[in-house]
Each structure stands twice: as C-alpha cells, then as structure tokens.
Structure 1
Amino acid sequence: MPNSEDKLPTRGNSDKGQEQEDKGALLDDIQSAGGNANTDMPGLRKPDISCSSPRRLISMTEVMETARDVSNMAIAHEIVINSNFQIQQMESPQNSLERRVKEIVHKAFWDSLQAQLNETPPQYSQAIKLVQEVKESLFSLLLPGHTRLRTQISEVLDMELIQQQAKHNALDIQRLAGFIISMMANLCAPVRDEEIKKLKGLTETVSLFREIFCVLDLMKIDMVNFTIQTLKPHLQQQSIQYERSKFQEFLNKQPNALEHTTAWLKAAAKKTANSVSPSQGNRPAVVSPTVVLNQGYMNLLKWDHDGDTYPETVLMDRSRLQQLQQRLDQLTLVASVLLVTSNAVGAAIFGLPGFVDKLKQVTCVLLDGLNCKMFRLEEALLAVSDQVHREVSRSLPEHGYIPLTSEQEATLKGQIRSITQRDNVIRNLIGERIHSYLKGFLSSLSPQNCLHALPGGLAPIQAELKEIGSTFSRILHHNRMVFGPYYSGILGKLLFTDGDAGMDSR
C-alpha cells in the first residue's frame, strides 16, 4: 500500500508542483489577457463609444469565434461569482431518445463482454481494453509528484504482461479488479468512500467493471471541482482583466454592442438628475458618475424583463439578478403583510415569541411561485388574509388580549388583500425602504458587515435582505471592476460636455 505522501490533496494533503501545473493549464487563456488584476482600474485604452458607426456583416467564422469567446468568458465569470460553482455529471432526461440509445448501446457492450468471458476458454480481448482504459483513468487522477503510485500502477497493470497471461489462460481478473479498487480507494475524495465500499462487495466481473467505470467518472468530476476550488483565488485575481479583454475582442467585431448599456445608463442619469436639486444660479447640478452607475444597478432590481432590453455588460448575471429581483418582490409582499398585521393587532401581541416567525412562514409558503405566469396574487393574498386572521384569533385570547371585533377583522383582511394593487401605499413604502437599504450595500467597503440603519418595517426580513445585499454587492463590484472603463466613457459623454470626465472615486 502506498505511503500517505502519495495521497491526493482531496484527502487534505497539498502538492505545490501540481498546483502550479494545474494553474498553468486552467489559466492559459486568462494569463494571455495580461494586466494587473489587483488594480481597481487596470490599464486599458479608453473605449471609443460611437453610436453612429454602421453595423457590419460578420462571417460565420467570426460568429463561431465570438460564441466560443463569450462561452469561455461566461464560464470564467461563473467560477468567480458563484461561490457554489461545481461541475455536475450530465444525465439525459428520463424516457428521452438520447438516454434510450445510450442504455441500448451500453447493454450491448456489457452483454458482449459477458459472452466473451463465458466462452471456453474465456476470451479476454474486450476485458483487456477495459483494463487499459481504467489504467489511463487512474493516471489522469494522479498528481505529477506521485511517482510511486504511477510506478505501482504501471507494474501491476502492465498491459504486455496481462496480454501474455490472457494468451496462456492465466489471467486473474479478480486480482486486477481488487488492485484497481484499492488504488481508487487511495485516490478518491472522502465523499466517494461509500461507493468504494460497495465495489468491494461485488464479485461478478461484468457488474464490477461497470460500477468501476461509474465511480471513476465521479472521481474525475471530483478532481476537476477540487482543482477549480484550489485555483479560485488565482482565477479571481485574473478574471477582471480576462473578461474585459474578451469583451473588448467582442466590441472590436461589433462596435455597436454597447447601445443597450448606453440606454440603461442614460435612463439612470435622467432619474438621478431629476432627484437632485439645481445648484446656485439655477444651473444644473453636477451629478456624480458613480451615483448614476449605482442608480443604474438599482434599476436592475425593478427591470421589466418582458419589455426592456438588458444591458450587454450585465448579461452574464441576468438570471442571477432576476432571481434576486423575484426574491425581493416576495419579501416586499411579506413585509407589507406583516406591517399591516402589526398595525392592526398592536405591538404587544406582535412582539410575542414566535408570532412573527409563524406569520412570516405561512405568508412565504402561500406566496411561493409568485413569479410564475399561472400565479394569482389576488387568490394568494386572500388565502394569506384568512391564515393571518386565524393565527391572530388564536393568539390573542391565549395571551390575555381582547379578540378582534368583526369590524377589525374585516379591516385587517381588506388591507392585506389591497396589497395586490401596485399603488398600495404600504407596498410602495416597503419597496422604497428595501431599495434604500440595498443601495447602502453598493457603497459599503465591507458588504458582509454592512451596518447602515435598517429602515422601519423591515426587521422581520432583515436576515434575507442582508444575504441579498451581500450577493448583489458582490456581483456588481465585479461588474464595476470589469466594465468600469466602458462605463467611464459612456458617462463622460452623457454627463459632461467635454466628454473627458471619468468615474470619480466617491
């Protein structure tokens, strides 16, 4: 059995040589972008944002190259932004043609192997090919410094010797399988221990090799995910310049590719200017580009995904931001229901241990699926009003409070149902307070420890808002780092007559 020094780092050991090799392999494209990723605004020629240049026809080769670059950029972006990023094993849908064909082909293959082994004497040609594939798979899981393991695998799985043994009917398949399983046990991550244990209990050759290949596939995925996690800090350092360089290549092929971003920032600038008081002499007040950009980011949380065209620079995070938007829509309704209930029953009963959590849980359940097309908000809030009334009616007498009168019950239910209306005062107030709170995360130096005051009425959803705020800030901080020079060029032309001003540091 190899010494512990030969264990893969998935068991907790590190290997600097492998780290350097893996880093080089994964960062070839990233490092080719150059630049200093630790700088807030790495050097990049100022983009020439021209809205008048005509569209040009591009070849199919350029289309394919652009698709590949965008795909690579999206993968790099996802690894950096998504803290839970992992490669998953792909499975075809049940009853799909692809899955059915795959099952038929696999069954034919394993049946053929079984037929060969059942011959007298047994035929091992197919089995030997499987052993060769297993050997290559084991090698792929080794680190460069694991010379002892590599030597051991080469000696035991010596294909020339195995072929000679098969020729003289002296091949011991079970012995080879036992060695393969023991090597897999040494190389696998702890999460695969149970699968390895099941392999040791198999004795039928065909079933054993079939399961060995299944576990090896999982181990390869584990190794890829381990490598990604190991290199994540390096990827984070390089990703800003990498994404920007790939986006610049895209712009070189399609100069008008920032028109939706320009329209998005123009709308944000207009909204910001309308909220700023004129300076002395009735001259227009100077608007900070950073304030405008932050307003643009906040507008993404109220985006009309059916009607408005999304900014090109935020496209890779569109689904992620849309999920945050949907979560905020639900939290706005939940907080509105709780505020209405608090006003109706009084702070004393509302402050009872577990009372708010119970109402919150019930409301969240009934509002689940809010953004589905088939969802009926009126029906959901009617059910919410009934459940809230039932919980209030049960809790008041239990704690010595006077039950609600019929008039108070009707008022409570009516106010909850009225939250359906877009212009509902409570709903709009809660929505404004939520956006005001989240806006503070964009300017905070440490979003995870953002300590700005929580507006009234949001205490029941504070934990959820903090989580959303941290995620929102992390996404947009990375976006600002990548596309800052482009925003600078656009906002310079929108806000200043000389067009030379850039993003300020405020």
Structure 2
Amino acid sequence: MSQEDDVSKEKARTESSEERDLGVGSSKKRRHEESAPIDFASTSSDDIHYHFPSWVAGGSPAQYVAPRELLAMATALENLELIHEIAVDENFKIPDVPTNPIEKAVKENMYKAFFDLLREDLAKQPPVYTNLLSHIMEIKMLILNDLLLPSHQRLREQIETMFDEERIKESLLEENFDFKQVAGQIIDILLRMCAPARDERIHELRKESDPIKILSGLFEMIELMKNDLTNYQLSKNRAEIENYSARYELREFQKLYTEYPDGPPKVREWICESYELMEKVEKTEEQEIQAKRERRDNEIDEQLLIDVTSKGFVTLVQSENPDPFPETLSLDRGRISRLSEKFLQIIITASSVLVTCGVAGRQIAESEDFKTTLKNHLIVIANDIDEKNLVEKLEAMGEQCAKEAHDTASKVDVVWDEDKTKAVKHQISALADEDNPVRAIVFKRVSEFVESILRSPTMVPNRLLPGLSIVQNELFAFTAKYLRLCEHNRRSYNSLYYEILYKIADDIVVEAASVSATVDAEEVKQDLDEVAEEAEGEFFDGSSNDAASSEDPQDVGLPDLL
C-alpha cells in the first residue's frame, strides 16, 4: 500500500471522528442528540461544550470584536471626555507635568533610556552620531510642525536652511560638527517664540555644557511651548470649542440610545418628575386642568423648557445620590457629586451661623465681624462634608460656634453660661435632621436662589433672601460653576429635552382631558337620573300632559338624550 493511500485513510478516519464529535453522524444518533438535554452543569475547561445544536445557538454566525474596534471606541470616549472637560471648565489647561503618576513615571523612564543610549553612542571610539543626527532632525520637525504658524514663512525658511540634513551629515563625517553652535541656534529660535514666563528656563539651558542635558532640555522646552500654544488656542477659540462639543456630544449620545424612541429612560423620568414639580403650584383643580388645556393649544415655549430643566438641575445637587440621574449628564456625575457636597456645605454653614446668632442674642450677633469670622471657620470645618460624616462635622462645628460665641461675649460684656453652650451644641447637632426648621428654611432659600439663576442668568436678584447674605460669596461661586455646566448641557441636549417634555406634557393633557370627560359624563348622568325621576313621578301621578303622552317614547328616550 502506498504512502498516499495511508494518508488518505488516516484523513478519512480523522474526519469521521470529527463528525461524530460534532454530532453529524448517523441520522439515528442525530435525532437522539437533538432530543436529549444539554448538560451545562460543568464549568471546567475540559468539560465545556464548545459546539451547540443550531436550535440552541441559532443560525447567526459568531460575532467578533476586533481589537482595533475596541481601541476606536476607547479613543472616541476619551476624546468625548476631553472635549467635554474643555467646554465645561473655563480654566481648563494642558498641564506642564502629567497629572497621572503612572504616565509621569513611564515618560521619565522612556526619556532616561532614550538619552542613556545616546550617551553610550557618543562615548564610543569613534563616536556614533546616527542617533544624534536623528534627534536634531526631530527637533527641527517639531519646531516646524508644532510651533510655527502659517504666517511664520520667513522663519520657516531660515530653519530649513540652518538645519539642512545633508549639510549636518557632511560636517559629522568630516568631524567638524559643532554641537554647541547648533544647540545655540535652536535656543535662539525658541527664545524668539516662547512666552515670557519661559525665558528664565531657556537662559539656564544656554549655560548648560553637557550635550545630553542640552538635548533633553530642548525636548522638554519644546513640549512646554506646545502646551503654551495649545492653551492659548483653547482660550482664543473657546466659544467655537463649546459649540462643537455640544454638537459632538449630542451626536455620540444619539448613537448610544437609538433604541429608545421615547428618549433615554432616566432622562425621561428626570424630565417627568421635574415637570410634575413645576405643576405643584397653588391652584384649584379646575384652574390646573384649564392651564393644561391652554398649554396644549400653544406649543411648549422655551421658557417652560428652561423652567423644567432648571428645576431638574437643582434636584441633582440637593442630595448625594440623586435618582433618577439623567444619562445626558453621565460625564458630569463626579463633578455634580462634588457640587452636591458644596451645596450641603453652604446649607449647613448658613444654618449653623443662624442657630448660633439666635442663641447668642442680638448684641453678640451684631458685633463686628462675628458672623463673617464664624462663617470662615465653619466653611473650613465643613470643607469635605457629606451625609456620612455629617454628624461628626456638626459636632466639630458646634464646638467652634460655642467657642466663638463665648469669646465674643467676653469682649462685649455679655454673660455667657454653660446652658447657652449646651444650647448651641444641641441645636447645631439637630441640623443633621433634614426636617430641622432652620435647615429646611435655608435649604428652600438656597434652592430657590440657584433655580432663579438657572432660569434667568442675566436677571440676578437685587438682594439675597434673609439668612443667605453671610454665605453669599460661596453661594455665588457655587451657582456660577453649576450654571456653566447646566448651560453647556442645555446647549447639547435641549432638542432632546424638548421632544421628551412635549410628549410628557401631551400625555398629561390627554389624561386630564379624559378625567374632565369622565367628570362631565357623571354630571350628565346625574341630570338624566333627575329628569327620569321627575318623569316617573309625573307618570304615576297622572300629571303628564296629553302632548307628552301622545309622543313616541323613542323620541324622549335616554339613548336620544345621551
């Protein structure tokens, strides 16, 4: 038997064995396997069933996710987060040093290895200049591509001539290359282009004599100048960046939530709750229904949308873990969480000052700088306050309030006893309860102030409500920061909010109309019952007139009346 026949038989046996393993043997065995249950109990790698019948797995081909697709998704998300951060944070700047410690360590180690290799090349006999030449050419290209503007045409030509690669190669081969001269020329160019704040660093680089340190310093200076140029462009084109960010965020968001025709569930729930809060005004039921009917006749105006979203934005900072939290603000969840801490800090601080002044009395409360000094100390104590450490913070704030009230009392000759100290501490500890009267009043007034600014940013109230003036600086700073975030969110998603609000308002109007129709039907039924009773009485009393009795009953029956 030939070797080819042996190979053919072996191949046939292998294929037959694979067919048996895959369940494609005889029809009898196939029917048995299709009717038998599949054992999923085992989880060991040796016992896992890798092949399922088509009635389990379905006929669709296996779906693969390429690594480049995952990288593209990650890059898109990073770009979205970056451009959103630039749009929301008016003070955003590219830092000179990486803020991520891992990134910083990797960069430093790469630079070290990079220049250690260059030092070894230059220390050889004869020296190897290949890497040195590539570094000089890289510096040249960085200046041309990353630092020069299109208007710098003359300087571009000078650099091209000054650092011609062929000329530098020739001087290296002839061993008459002067590195310090070339480095000095590069430093002169950078000095002409850099910001004044970088001049001192460049002058220090000019004094350096070690070629490796000079090259390292040049690369570092170019990176700093690139950051300066980027930050300048960001500040110069911030309005365009914000508009682009709004369009980009909405486009990417719509890609993720195309399967929700009524809008993302949390956004819809958030808008719905905010709308219902807006509707909770002191009206009679008839006025409310009438208002809804009128609203249906008129399209939802921009002010209603602003009012509803303003109410919704305020609810997000009123608690640590707001629910629902709209998907449209997912990128800002951490920022809103930090703002909610500041919101609580303002409320607790203002409440503590009010409580202390109430217990201490007018003479202490109106003494010079008492409220301001007390507020400044309490703000520091409550700097990282949250619901978890609220009781602990209030204890420390109570101690501080009692101490400052006691010290001020001694200055203004007011008697301060232990009972007042206990009263201050007790009442401030009671602020842990959300329903505490003082805290509730301050909470309501702060919320109303923030909401009024979000509704009409240009119409700032002339004065704050009583009790808030002591924390006005903190309240203004908080509101300004939150306003910027909310304005950008509106710029991005107002069209989505409008569609959702229109559907919600329409549903409520239809429901109100249905309720109104039911009420009208009940009233008609009552009237008809009264008419029927009167007719029945007249019939049995024999008081009906001849004309009525001669009419066809169908003409006066209930079906025709209805």
Deviation at 1:282, TM superposition (A): 7.2
Pair 1:153-2:163 in alignment: no
Amino acid at match of 1:392: A
* Cα gap change, 1:310 to 1:281, in 2 (>3 Å): closer
* Cα gap change, 1:477 to 1:417, in 2 (>3 Å): same
Query: Tell me, which stretches of 5 or more residues in structure 2 are unaligned?
Result: 1-61, 296-303, 511-562
Which residue matches 1:213? 219
Identify the match of residue 378 of structure 1 among 391, 413, 419.
391
* Cα gap change, 1:369 to 1:123, in 2 (>3 Å): same
Pair 1:293-2:305 in alignment: no
Amino acid at match of 1:143: L
* Cα gap change, 1:105 to 1:407, in 2 (>3 Å): closer
Any idea what SS the aligned residue of 1:283 has?
helix
Pair 1:468-2:473 in alignment: no
Identify the match of residue 488 of structure 1 among 480, 498, 501.
498
Cα offsets for 1:135-163 (capped at 9, x unmatched): 01111200111111111111221111111
Tell whether the 8 Å contact from 1:493 to 1:499 is kept in structure 2 after alignment: no
Amino acid at match of 2:173: K
State the alpha-carbon separation in 2 of the partners of residues 58 and 235 from structure 1: 37
State the alpha-carbon separation in 2 of the partners of residues 81 and 100 from structure 1: 29
Name the stretch that deviates more: 346-355 or 426-435.
346-355
Name the stretch that deviates more: 288-297 or 361-370.
288-297
Any idea what SS the aligned residue of 1:368 has?
coil
Which residue matches 2:420? 408
**Scaled by the length of structure 2, what TM-score is found?**
0.71
* Cα gap change, 1:281 to 1:188, in 2 (>3 Å): closer
Identify the match of residue 115 of structure 1 among 120, 125, 130.
120
Tell whether the 8 Å contact from 2:140 to 2:159 is kept in structure 1 after alignment: yes
* Cα gap change, 1:105 to 1:175, in 2 (>3 Å): same
State the alpha-carbon separation in 2 of the partners of residues 123 and 82 from structure 1: 49
Identify the match of residue 142 of structure 1 among 134, 142, 148.
148
Identify the match of residue 398 of structure 1 among 381, 396, 411.
411
Name the stretch that deviates more: 197-206 or 83-92.
83-92
Identify the match of residue 368 of structure 1 among 383, 399, 402.
383
Name the stretch that deviates more: 161-170 or 482-491.
482-491
* Cα gap change, 1:284 to 1:259, in 2 (>3 Å): farther
Which residue matches 1:88? 95
Asked which structure has the greater CA Rg, the reply is 2
Decide which structure has greater helix share: 2
Pair 1:433-2:445 in alignment: yes
Cα offsets for 1:238-259 (capped at 9, x unmatched): 4444433333333336657611
Deviation at 1:343, TM superposition (A): 0.9
Pair 1:320-2:335 in alignment: yes
**Scaled by the length of structure 1, what TM-score is found?**
0.78
Cα offsets for 1:457-481 (capped at 9, x unmatched): 1111011112222222232233223
Query: Tell me, which stretches of 5 or more residues in structure 1 are unaligned?
Result: 1-56, 501-506
Deviation at 1:452, TM superposition (A): 4.5
Deviation at 1:187, TM superposition (A): 1.3
Identity of counterpart residues, as a percentage?
A: 27
Question: Mapping of 1:16-55 within 5 angstroms?
Answer: none
State the alpha-carbon separation in 2 of the partners of residues 84 and 118 from structure 1: 47
Amino acid at match of 2:196: P
Deviation at 1:276, TM superposition (A): 4.3
Deviation at 1:289, TM superposition (A): 4.9
State the alpha-carbon separation in 2 of the partners of residues 92 and 235 from structure 1: 23
Tell whether the 8 Å contact from 1:492 to 1:499 is kept in structure 2 after alignment: no
* Cα gap change, 1:164 to 1:422, in 2 (>3 Å): same
Which residue matches 2:544? none
Tell whether the 8 Å contact from 2:307 to 2:455 is kept in structure 1 after alignment: no
Deviation at 1:223, TM superposition (A): 1.5
* Cα gap change, 1:93 to 1:221, in 2 (>3 Å): closer
Cα offsets for 1:286-340 (capped at 9, x unmatched): 38554333221221122452x7352012223322222221101011110011001
